[in-house]
Amino acid sequence: MVQDRWEGLSAEMPMKGKPTIVRCPWMRKGYCMNLFGTLWARDTSWIDRNVINHERIHTAQMRELLFIPFYVIYVLEWLVRLVLYRDGHKAYLNISFEREAYRHGHDMKYLTLRRHYAFLHYMRSDR
Ligand SMILES: [Zn+2]
């Protein structure tokens, strides 16, 4: 019997249910974009609870920044880090929002313990 990859998700996570996922054929395969708490992906076969948790951390960050400023800061920080690292992927991985989400995406209880604006802790490049 195939175990439901969503099984136990609601019990372990503070926010109930799973987020809405929109299938988007023009998205790059294996990539997911979080727009205002809705996930956009080409296919959902690779999206597991760790990815969902990662994206929920982003949604928490967005809410704290009232959504639009999140995207503005995200792009600006990526540009600054692109200049610093001269590598787009490395710049992406070092955006403070991504650092927090990648650090805690596997921890299903993280969002219950997380302090508001926790991403600020990850602005420094040594964290
Ligand atoms: Zn992310």
pLDDT tens-digit series, residues 11-22:
455 555 578 999
Q: How large is the average pLDDT for residues 50-54?
A: 96
The Å distance, Cα 94 to ligand 1 centre, comes to 10
Q: In whole numbers, what is the pLDDT of the chain averaged over residues?
A: 89
The closest alpha carbon to 100, from 123, 68, 70, belongs to 123
- What's the Cα-to-Cα distance from 55 to each of 30, 78, 83, 85, rounded to whole Å? 14, 18, 26, 24
pLDDT of residue 56: 96
Residue 10, pLDDT > 70, answer no
Q: Would the pLDDT of 125 be above 80?
A: no
Mean pLDDT of the 53-67 span: 97
Q: Domain locations in the chain?
A: 9-122
| Distance from Cα 98 to the centre of ligand 1, integer Å | 5
